[in-house]
Amino acid sequence: MNTSRPMGDDIPVLTAATITSLPSGAAGAVIVSGSHGGIYPGYCAAKGQVRAVVFHDAGIGKDEAGIASLDYLQAGGVAAATVASTSCRIGDADDMLERGRISHANPLALNAGVVIGMACRQAAEQLKRAPWHRATPAPLEETRTEETVEGGRRRIVLLDSASLVGPEDAGQIIVTGSHGALVGGKPAMALRTDGFAAVYSDAGGGIENAGYTRLPALDERGIAAFTVSAASARIGDARSVYMDGIVSAVNRTAAALGCRVGEPAGHRLRQWALL
């Protein structure tokens, strides 16, 4: 790991609706991302060799998974902070920059002048002072796994990030560790393929109920979808969403297939695998 590129006002602050799709010039820049602050987004930030990053805290949730990237990035030499879910919409980096308030920060970010409660835009300016460490993170393991149900007609695909959805997942039950908000407010980004069903974390719901906004968009495509409570399952961890998640909101298509708020996600999905 080495440090290079001088610090100064010429360092850009860039926005990214999702950390899995970084803009040109992200290396060495300060990134404000609409992604939750879990481990996988932290890995993506480190892989992109950003100078510093601000994520959304996704309501923090079970085992503080919504801010787990802060310690991960601290260990990798990257300054990182999160904004409060009560201050701005998850999945909307522009709204974060406009309205976001810092909820948590790692020591590198604090040393750069970030203060809890600070406006996101001001924090991003402070993060220009953070040293740039070119991290080379080890690949994360088991970001994609599958569950099979005896006699089932569909696979249950577990993906720690919705960015990992591919054409091969069409017609399957797709469980993601991602938040349930539309990325950048774009309905087309709700799911990258026409799955039978899709599951997300509700990221604590958050301001303006942003954490549920993928659900009606998927109704328009006839895809059953629901969120699980961030308090019940670790955001960014699809297996936890599947094994531990408790349904917090459903779309009309999912309701027509019997899904109800308050039931265990895994129980419902195993039933759907048989349909």
CB-side neighbour CA atoms (13 Å) of 132: 19
How does DSSP assign 137-198, residue by residue? PPPPS-SEEEE--TT-SS-EEEESSGGG--GGGTTSEEEEEEESSPGGG-GGGS-SS--SEE
Q: What is the CA angle 50-56-60, rounded to 5?
A: 125
For 150, the token pair is 């005896």
pTM: 0.93
CATH architecture under which domain 13-129 falls:
2-Layer Sandwich (3.30)
pLDDT tens profile 184-242: 888 988 999 999 999 999 999 999 999 999 999 999 999 999 999 999 999 999 999 99
Cβ(242)–Cβ(266) below 8 Å: yes
pLDDT tens profile 25-82: 999 999 999 999 999 999 999 999 999 999 999 999 999 999 999 999 999 999 999 9
Domain spans of the chain, in order of start: 13-129, 144-273
